C-alpha cells in the first residue's frame, strides 16, 4: 500500500508524510501530486499550501521544535516530527483557529498509527501556543535557510545576502508569457481586463505580464488554445539574447519542461528547426504537452546533451540555448523544498557538469553562431566563474555584452537577483563563435 493510500487520512497526516518524503530526498514535484490525489478536490489547495509553507519556513520551525523536545523523535516515528512542524507552521503563519490546529493534529497522530505520541504532540503544541514563537537563535533560523546557504550567500553577496534570503521567503508573483504568434501583449492585457484580472506589463521581458494576484490557469483567456503560458520574467529573457532570425537551426539543450523551447518558437516563426534535448525520458512528455497546447513543433530527443556522439547528426546549430542543471538557488521562492534537498557539496559537481556541457555545446555551434548560457542560480561558482573558466580554454570565443537594462554586469555575464516584486534569480552569458 502506498504511503498516501491510507483510507480517510486527515490532511495534516498526508502533509506530514509528504514532508517526510522530502526529508528523504524526494522533491515536492515528485511526492506531492500522488498525495493530492488522496484528498477531495476542495482540500487539495490547502494541502499544497501546508507543504509549501512548511518547507519555506522549515529551518525556523525545526529550530523551535527541537528546542521544545527533550529528546529527538525516534527514527521510526519521524513522521510525527513533521506533523508537529506542520502544526507549528499553522500556529505561526496562518489564521487557523488554535483549537482546531491542536485537536486535528492529535487526531492526525492517531491516523498515522502513532497513538503513543499523542501526548507529546498535544503537550508540545499547547506550550508553543501558550509561549509564542521564540526569538531566532541565529541567521539560519531567522531567515529559515540552511546555515551553509546563508554563509555562502553572505560571502558571495556581502551587500545583498539578506535581501536574497528575504526574497526567497516571499510568495512569487504569477507571471505570463504572451504567445506573440497569437496576441500582442497589449491585446492580451485588454483580454485580462475584460475578464476582471488585474495585471501589468513586465519591465524587461517584452511579452511578459505579471498578475496582481495568482489565478487558476483555466481562468486565463484562451489559455487552453495557446494564447499564453506561465513563465517567470527572468526565464523569458533568453529569447531577447539569442538574436533569432528566419532560417536558423536552434538547439535548446536541457529543455524540459519546455517553457524556453516554446518561447523560442513563439518569438521567431520562420526558424528552420528547433531541436530540444533532455536527458530525462520522464520529463520529455511535458515538453510535448506544452508544444501541443501552443500548436508548435520541435524535434525532441532524449539524450545526454554532453554526449554529442549519441545524438548529434553533424549539422551545426546557428543558435544554442544552454540552460544548465544547477543548484536552483535563484528560484527557491517557487521551490522551497530546495532548502531541504540541496547540499553544499552539490555545487562543485554541478559546476563540473556545467562546464562540460558548455564545452560540448561549443563543438556543435556553427562558426558565426551564438550560444546563450543560462542558470537559475545566484552562486557565482555556477555562473560568471564558469564563463571565466571556459574563456581561458576557448581563447577564440567572443563574449558579447548585451545592451540591456536588467541585471548586474559580472564581467562575464549578467546576474539577476531574486526580486520579491518581480523576477526570479537568474544568470545569462552570451558567447559567439568566430567565423572560420
Residues contacting residue 147 through CB under 8 Å, at least 6 positions apart = 138, 139, 140
Q: In whole angstroms, give the CA distance from residue 349 to residue 326.
A: 10
Residue with cell 492580451: 188
| Distances in whole angstroms, Cα of residue 262 to Cα of each of 16, 113, 191 | 37, 47, 22
- Contacts (Cβ under 8 Å, ≥6 apart) of 403: none
In angstroms, rounded to a whole number, what is the distance separating the alpha carbons of residues 218 and 221? Answer: 8
376 in catalytic set: yes
Q: Could you tell me the maximum CA-CA distance found in the chain, to the nearest angstrom?
A: 75
Strands 317-323, 249-253: pairing is parallel
Helix (H) or strand (E) holding 236: helix 233-236
Task: Return the bridge partners of 430, or none.
Answer: 372, 400
Kindly report the backbone phi and psi dihedral angles of residue 245, in degrees, each rounded to the nearest multiple of 5, phi listed first. Answer: -150, 155
| Per-residue burial over 345-367, b = 16 or more CB atoms within 10 Å of its CB, e = otherwise | eebeebbeebbebbebbbebbbe
CA distance 78 to 6: 18
> Pairing between strand 398-400 and 299-302?
unpaired
Structure letter (DSSP) for residue 138 = S
Q: Among 31, 109, 238, 376, which one carries the catalytic annotation?
A: 376
Whether residue 298 contacts residue 229, with contact meaning beta carbons closer than 8 Å, is answered with no
Q: Is the dihedral of CA 226, 231, 233, 236 positive or negative?
A: negative
Number of H helices, E strands in the chain: 19, 13
SS3 assignment, position 39: coil
Q: Which residues contact 345 (CB under 8 A, 6 or more apart)?
A: none
Using the CB atoms, write b or e for 177-190: b if 16+ within 10 Å.
Answer: bbbbebbebeebbe
Q: What phi and psi, each to the nearest 5 degrees, are found at residue 292? A: -65, -45
Count Cα neighbours of 295 within 13 Å in the Cβ-side half-sphere.
Answer: 12
Q: Which residues are catalytic?
A: 376
Amino acid at each position: 500500500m502506498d504511503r498516501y493510500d491510507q483510507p480517510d487520512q486527515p490532511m495534516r497526516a498526508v502533509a506530514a508524510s509528504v514532508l517526510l518524503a522530502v526529508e528523504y530526498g524526494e522533491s515536492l514535484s515528485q511526492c506531492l501530486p500522488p498525495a493530492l490525489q488522496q484528498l477531495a478536490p476542495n482540500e487539495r489547495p490547502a494541502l499544497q499550501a501546508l507543504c509549501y509553507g512548511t518547507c519555506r519556513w522549515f529551518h525556523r520551525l525545526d529550530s523551535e521544535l527541537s528546542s521544545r523536545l527533550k529528546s529527538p523523535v525516534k527514527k521510526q516515528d519521524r513522521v510525527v516530527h513533521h506533523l508537529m512542524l506542520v502544526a507549528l507552521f499553522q500556529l505561526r503563519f496562518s489564521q487557523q483557529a488554535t483549537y482546531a490546529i491542536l485537536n486535528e493534529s492529535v487526531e492526525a497522530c492517531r491516523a498515522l498509527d502513532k497513538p503513543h505520541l499523542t501526548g507529546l504532540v498535544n503537550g508540545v503544541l499547547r506550550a508553543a501556543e501558550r509561549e509564542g514563537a521564540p526569538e531566532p537563535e541565529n541567521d539560519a533560523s531567522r531567515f529559515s535557510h540552511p546555515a551553509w546557504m546563508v554563509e555562502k550567500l553572505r560571502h558571495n553577496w556581502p551587500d545583498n545576502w539578506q535581501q536574497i534570503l528575504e526574497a526567497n521567503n516571499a510568495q512569487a508573483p504569477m507571471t505570463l508569457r504572451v504567445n506573440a504568434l497569437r496576441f500582442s501583449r497589449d491585446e492580451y492585457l485588454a483580454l485580462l481586463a475584460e475578464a476582471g484580472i488585474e495585471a501589468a506589463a513586465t519591465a524587461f521581458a517584452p511579452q511578459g505580464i505579471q498578475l496582481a494576484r495568482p489565478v487558476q490557469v483555466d481562468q486565463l483567456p484562451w489559455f487552453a488554445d495557446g494564447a499564453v503560458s506561465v513563465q517567470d520574467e527572468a526565464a523569458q529573457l533568453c529569447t531577447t539574447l539569442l538574436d533569432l532570425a528566419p532560417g536558423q537551426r536552434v538547439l535548446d539543450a536541457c529543455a524540459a519542461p519546455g517553457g524556453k523551447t516554446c518561447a523560442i518558437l513563439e518569438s521567431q516563426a520562420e526558424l528552420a528547426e528547433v531541436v530540444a534535448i533532455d536527458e530525462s525520458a520522464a520529463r520529455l512528455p511535458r515538453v510535448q504537452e506544452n508544444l501541443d497546447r501552443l500548436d508548435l513543433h520541435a524535434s525532441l530527443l532524449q539524450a545526454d546533451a554532453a554526449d554529442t556522439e549519441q545524438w548529434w547528426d553533424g549539422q551545426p546549430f546557428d543558435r544554442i540555448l544552454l540552460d544548465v542543471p544547477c543548484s536552483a538557488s535563484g528560484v527557491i521562492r517557487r521551490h522551497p523544498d530546495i532548502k531541504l534537498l540541496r547540499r553544499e557539496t552539490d555545487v562543485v559537481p554541478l559546476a563540473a557538469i556545467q562546464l562540460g556541457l558548455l564545452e560540448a555545446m561549443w563543438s556543435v555551434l556553427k562558426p558565426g553562431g551564438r550560444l546563450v548560457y543560462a542558470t537559475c542560480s545566484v552562486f557565482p561558482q555556477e555562473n560568471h566563474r564558469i564563463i571565466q573558466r571556459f574563456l581561458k580554454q576557448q581563447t577564440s570565443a567572443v563574449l558579447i555584452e548585451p545592451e540591456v537594462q536588467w541585471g548586474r554586469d559580472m564581467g562575464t555575464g549578467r546576474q539577476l537577483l531574486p526580486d520579491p516584486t518581480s523576477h526570479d534569480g537568474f544568470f545569462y552569458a552570451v558567447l559567439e563563435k568566430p567565423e572560420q
